[in-house]
Amino acid sequence: MTADQPTHTPRIFKNFGLLLGGRVGAAVFTVIALAIMARELGVEVFGLVILVHTYILIINGIFSTKAFEAIVKYGLPAHLNGDENRLKNLFTTSYWADLITAVISCLAAIVLAPQVSEWLGSDRQFAQWAQVYGLLLLFAGTSTAKGILRLYSKFAALGFQLGLGPLVRFLLVLLAWRLDGGAESYLAAWGVGYLVENLMLHWQAWGQIIQQLNAPRWCRPEIRLLAHQHAGFWPFVGVTYVQGTLDLLPKQLATMLSGIFLGTTAAGLFRVARELATIVSKPALLLRQAVFTDLTQLWENRDPRFKTLPVKTALITGSAGLLLALLAIPFGEFVLLALFGEGYQQAHWLLVILLLAASMELAASSLHMSAYAMNKATIIVLVNIFATLCYLIGFALLTPVYGLIATGWAACLMAAIALLGSAWLVCSLKMEPLASQD
């Protein structure tokens, strides 16, 4: 199949726009819900509630398969060739892996909660909440569902799903506020929203399977056959698992580490700043989803645009992110005070620095996925492992001295290393030898 010359850049930004629309709605609902919680609970209790939700996201991130990119990369040739048997085995095996890891993550969340509670010094309140909240992980194995929706280019459905959970969360937070509920009510609102967004992903993916595949739509999972049918599938899943786990550090794990190093109040401040920074950092993840299918097609056809497309995308998106970081310098403190109330404006400069890191992350997204498309994911993961080590060292050395602001500089260091590594890999690529391999 030959790529149609004028279509890829507009299609990428169209798909990105569909995802971004859902994310913008999600961001608005989430910020308002956080603002209500922050004002009602106070910085310390707010930080504890946020730490419970963050803990569950970390456990899910560690134990989930993260096979969605592998579903696209290895399912796309089978889909284009009409090979349903290969697709059925791919989907079935991946779904079973999701189910197994969901059970493991639920058990891990329950078992590890008391130890984490001790680290936080929360007098077992954290553990009690986290153990109940951890039951939601039974429904959080959504890697295959995400991959199926991306494979069939159902970005509108993904955009809807991205906004649904935060909308439910927002409505339940409003209800808790009207009923003068305590911290448990707000935590329940957060949990139900998380459950709804995961169930919606499963429902949408199953609908695509019914629509796209002939009956019977499931088969007995054949792990060895899958490895034979899709050479390199499991190593690729391993690489994406490592990368996905690394992605947790400047986002979810940093919130938890802030709580451990500096206390629950610092965790609350960090989460507030990070949530506003997701205006830039979340689109980075969405852009990966939108660009990967097109980059895979360009690479399969050894199209010269494979090299220029991600660079062009990086320049556009990175510039937009940098503009928001600059605007946060004069306006960030006002926004924090207006949204969250007294005490939260302490996170002003942390917000500016996190936005700067997020702009570099956004610029690196399309470059990053280029490496995945051309089977160079291992190199990118090695770069990101080095960047992560630098992040952890910077976090551990600087935070005790400079406090919460150091978490932002550590994130900037990590993002800069990842961006430079991705740019070097793409810009050093020579397409001519690759074309001769077809």
Average pLDDT per consecutive 10 residues, the chain (438 residues; last block may be shorter): 47 57 70 89 87 92 85 84 84 90 95 91 84 94 89 79 86 92 91 92 90 78 75 81 77 84 87 82 60 72 75 80 89 88 88 91 80 76 87 88 89 91 78 45
**What CA–CA distance (Å, rounded) separates 427 from 311?**
8
Q: State residue 373's pLDDT score.
A: 75
Q: Which residues of 197-224 are buried (b: 16+ CB within 10 A; e: fewer)?
A: bbebbbebbeebbeeeeeeeeeeebeee
Q: State residue 110's pLDDT score.
A: 95
Q: State residue 165's pLDDT score.
A: 86
Count of CB atoms situated within 10 Å of the CB of 180: 8
Q: Are 356 and 405 in contact (CB under 8 A)?
A: no
Q: Are 69 and 147 in contact (CB under 8 A)?
A: yes
pTM for this prediction: 0.76
Q: Are 34 and 340 in contact (CB under 8 A)?
A: yes
